[in-house]
Chain A
Amino acid sequence: MTEFLLTGGRVLDATGERAADVRVVDGAIAEVGPGLSASAGATVLDAEGCVVTPGLVDIQVHFREPGREESETIATGSRAAALGGCTAVVCMPNTEPPLDDAAVVQAVIARARREAHCAVLPAGCITKGRKGEELAPMGELYDLGVRIFTDDGDCVADAGVMRRAFEYASALPDAVIAQHAEDPALVRGGHMHEGAWSSRLGVPGRPAEAESSIVARDLQLAKRTGGRYHVLHMSCAASADLVRAAKAEGVRVTAECTPQHLVLTDESCAGYDPSFKMNPPLREQADVDGLRAALLDGTIDAIATDHAPHAPETKDVPFEEAPPGMLGVETALAVVLTTLVEPGILTLAQALAALSWNPARIGGFAEHGSPLTANRAANLCVIDPAHQWVVEGNRLASRSRNTPWEGWKLTGKVRHTIYSGVPTVRDFDVQEIW
């Protein structure tokens, strides 16, 4: 019997907040309540002054395996995720080869079972080869556990294909069609948000309407087909308005946005540093404000990071030549705590809903994000909200270092992460679990 006792913390989950210790026995929560005493042989994990919550769930990460292992692997990416408090992630299918085939998906799942520091569920492609033409074998992938289907990295631009994807997936309970909403015809050749800064910097732009026009179209298709739709990394206020209206109409839609889109603007690109390049791009203050409002009123359900590692040599190039993408999984919670919770924009409970229980529901993770009660799987995160630290790309667990938060002083850090009853992070340090 393996027992861990989390003592002295405050438990916060979807049911509320209370002072309580948590006893974990053999992978499951055994007991939650005040003043629990450790059994003989139990390991006590100090949670004094900390918040004990369901493990975080990041439904959009790129772990680059297979194909780009020089920038990240399931092993390194999931260690970063554990350090960021995650017990589950959904990894995107734009690998090489892409996750459009049962054998490749099986290989990723098998590798994750041997090497990962958290649950790693692959998303599957909507179309073969992510080409936007023929449907990938969604049913076969679904049978392997895949619930999120997306061609992320690319938009499914063809409305007819998107319609068929919605229709086909509606036969697969809880499957969701997730869109990288950027109309390729409007963003071709663009490298940053099209606005005052791109005009000044002479960098070809990607207009916000490239996103909102696709979201508008997809919402109509979702409405017509009854399909389930998820907007990945929503970046502009106009898209949020469309999703808000669609939710009011009863369309089955969810949305996520990233910490960077909630905090940074296109002005970050003024120094031509490719660390601030991503798709969809960092937008304007009005969009940041619109996304924050949408998060507050529930239009945006989840915060996901789009953790997109790129090896240093691919980012040490001119801005326009660099691939888009930023690290995020290890810093997301701390960035949200520092920039949104501490200034009073979000409550801690709202932040954790967006970082844990809402995304767990979207991703179909039954064993993550649920309230801390006896007999549930022990997937937990213990946050020290007062811990201060400085982000240094070189010291992150990712194999890459392309963080937009380099040098930021953050308040709040994950002290312990328990994945399936096993500490993957203990006293801020990642544990060797394999």
Chain B
Amino acid sequence: MKHLLSVDDLGPRAEIEKMLDLTESFVAVQRREIPKVPALRGKVVVSLFYEDSTRTRVSFETAAKRLSADAMVFTVSSSSVKKGESLLDTVQTIEAMGIDAIVMRHSASGAPHRVAEWTSASVINAGDGRHEHPTQALLDAFTLRRHRGPSLDGCRIAIVGDVKHSRVARSDVKMFQALGCELTLVGPPTLMPERLDGWPVTVSHDLDDVLPDVDVIYLLRIQRERIGEALFPSIREYADRWGLSAARVERCKPDMLVMHPGPMNRGIEIAGDVADSTRSLVTEQVTNGVAVRMAVLWTLLGSGGDFV
């Protein structure tokens, strides 16, 4: 694997599971007194974020530093990009400095695919438009596996909310399907992708209908600006019909788990007390993000063998 642009790049189930196993060893590294290994000493990892995302960026930078790589930040908002430099020129400029990986976030779907054509460095997609966010899917799978694993075969997951605009959903659908889960997409018809040919999912517009059967409810962040696009009438109506309230959780299986990629809109797609309940894996998802990204960086940039 040269680049990680999509969950597809991870390969078949066995390869994904290897990556999740590798992540376990990096969790172990993180528990050490000095949570750092020399695995990527001398390697340079640049983060190039065209959208603000402190969480994902810091997670990648922490991962790179714990592998002893040099983590650089190319700050888009205060750089030549502001002066009109094109993405291609920016990438060529960064490349000329001698780098090994570009961790990239961009508002346009497929932007990292273009960059991968322009650079000899490895490109890691940290979120492109509505398309994919593969390390999020890895950390989601890793987190869930720790609770329901090692096998996720037959695990029933409802992904609830704005699937149409969600890169997390697109990556998670591929990831969870590869791991043998059964997926239901839930939300208003206006927030579902227009065509689902080839998606291994069922679709429901009624959250209450789905609640009793699922093992995991994965909530997506809802964005207010969708109201202006006539996609749903109001936050109130959305929360009422598709928000996960404490009352709804009552009707779920006793061991049903709640996930969310963050940042959460408490009181909209997820009630505050649900977010803080023992069912919620939200904080754990964030914690595991670093180990997952260490595993990805090591796989792409490491020399093979032990990383110790």
* A and B together in one complex: yes
Residues of B within 8 A of A203 (CB): 109-110, 129-131
A159 to chain B, nearest CB (A): 21
Query: Do A199 and B195 contact each other (CB < 8 Å), given the known contacts A320-B110, A320-B129?
Result: yes
- Check B109–A317 contact: CB distance below 8 A: no
User: Taking the complex as formed, is B194 at the interface, i.e. its CB lies under 8 A from any CB of chain A?
Assistant: yes
Query: Do A320 and B108 contact each other (CB < 8 Å), given the known contacts A196-B198, A200-B198?
Result: yes
User: In the bound complex, what is the Cα–Cα distance between A200 and B170 (angstroms)?
Assistant: 8
Which residues of chain B in 81-136 are interfacial with respect to chain A, using CB atoms and an 8 Å cutoff? 86-88, 106, 108-111, 113-114, 128-132
- Check B129–A202 contact: CB distance below 8 A: yes
User: What string of 1s and 0s marks CB contacts (under 8 Å) between B164-205 and chain A?
Assistant: 000100100000000000000000000001111111000000
User: In the bound complex, what is the Cα–Cα distance between A310 and B213 (angstroms)?
Assistant: 53
Residues of A within 8 A of B196 (CB): 196, 199
User: Taking the complex as formed, is A271 at the interface, i.e. its CB lies under 8 A from any CB of chain B?
Assistant: yes
- Looking at chain B's contact residues, the main secondary structure is loop
Residues of A within 8 A of B110 (CB): 201-203, 272, 318-320
- Check B194–A202 contact: CB distance below 8 A: no
- Check A199–B193 contact: CB distance below 8 A: yes
Residue on A nearest B109 in the bound complex, by CB: A202
- Check A321–B194 contact: CB distance below 8 A: no
User: In the bound complex, what is the Cα–Cα distance between A194 and B87 (angstroms)?
Assistant: 26
- Check B108–A318 contact: CB distance below 8 A: yes
Complex partner residue of B111 from A199, A200, A204, A318, CB under 8 angstroms: A318
Query: Do A318 and B197 contact each other (CB < 8 Å), given the known contacts A202-B129, A203-B129, A271-B113?
Result: no
User: In the bound complex, what is the Cα–Cα distance between A203 and B106 (angstroms)?
Assistant: 13
User: Taking the complex as formed, is A198 at the interface, i.e. its CB lies under 8 A from any CB of chain B?
Assistant: yes
- Check A199–B109 contact: CB distance below 8 A: no
- Check B86–A195 contact: CB distance below 8 A: no
Residues of A within 8 A of B88 (CB): 313, 316-317
- Check B113–A199 contact: CB distance below 8 A: no
- Check A317–B167 contact: CB distance below 8 A: no
Residues of B within 8 A of A271 (CB): 113
User: Taking the complex as formed, is A205 at the interface, i.e. its CB lies under 8 A from any CB of chain B?
Assistant: yes
Which residues of chain A in 317-346 are interfacial with respect to chain B, using CB atoms and an 8 Å cutoff? 317-321
- Check A201–B109 contact: CB distance below 8 A: yes
User: In the bound complex, what is the Cα–Cα distance between A316 and B88 (angstroms)?
Assistant: 7
Residues of A within 8 A of B108 (CB): 318-321
Which residues of chain B in 200-253 are interfacial with respect to chain A, using CB atoms and an 8 Å cutoff? none
User: In the bound complex, what is the Cα–Cα distance between A196 and B199 (angstroms)?
Assistant: 10
User: What string of 1s and 0s marks CB contacts (under 8 Å) between A187-215 and chain B?
Assistant: 00000001110111111110100000000
- Check A202–B114 contact: CB distance below 8 A: no
- Check B109–A272 contact: CB distance below 8 A: yes
Residue on B nearest A269 in the bound complex, by CB: B110
- Check A317–B198 contact: CB distance below 8 A: no
- Check A317–B114 contact: CB distance below 8 A: yes
Residue on A nearest B171 in the bound complex, by CB: A202
B225 to chain A, nearest CB (A): 12
Query: Do A272 and B194 contact each other (CB < 8 Å), given the known contacts A318-B87, A319-B109?
Result: no
Residues of B within 8 A of A196 (CB): 195-198
A183 to chain B, nearest CB (A): 15
Residue on B nearest A314 in the bound complex, by CB: B86
Complex partner residue of A318 from B106, B195, B198, B199, CB under 8 angstroms: B106
Residue on B nearest A319 in the bound complex, by CB: B110
- Check B194–A318 contact: CB distance below 8 A: no
Residue on A nearest B118 in the bound complex, by CB: A316
Residues of B within 8 A of A207 (CB): 194
User: In the bound complex, what is the Cα–Cα distance between A195 and B196 (angstroms)?
Assistant: 9
- Check B195–A202 contact: CB distance below 8 A: no
Residue on A nearest B131 in the bound complex, by CB: A202
User: In the bound complex, what is the Cα–Cα distance between A312 and B9 (angstroms)?
Assistant: 29
Query: Do A201 and B114 contact each other (CB < 8 Å), given the known contacts A316-B88, A317-B88?
Result: no
Residues of A within 8 A of B130 (CB): 202-204
Residues of A within 8 A of B132 (CB): 202
Best-surrounded residue of B110, B113, B197 (most CB of chain A within 10 A): B110
The chain A residues found within 8 Å of chain B, CB to CB, are 194-196, 198-205, 207, 271-272, 313, 316-321
8 intermolecular pairs with C-beta atoms under 8 Å apart: A200-B198, A202-B128, A203-B109, A203-B110, A205-B194, A207-B194, A272-B109, A316-B86
The chain B residues found within 8 Å of chain A, CB to CB, are 86-88, 106, 108-111, 113-114, 128-132, 167, 170, 193-199
A200-B199, A202-B129, A316-B88 given. 19 additional CB < 8 A pairs?
A195-B194, A196-B197, A198-B195, A199-B194, A199-B196, A200-B170, A201-B131, A202-B132, A202-B167, A203-B130, A205-B194, A272-B110, A313-B88, A317-B88, A317-B114, A318-B106, A318-B110, A319-B110, A320-B110
Instruction: Enumerate the 10 nearest inter-chain pairs by beta-carbon distance, A residue then B residue, closest first.
Output: A272-B110, A202-B131, A202-B130, A318-B108, A199-B193, A318-B111, A196-B197, A320-B108, A202-B109, A196-B195
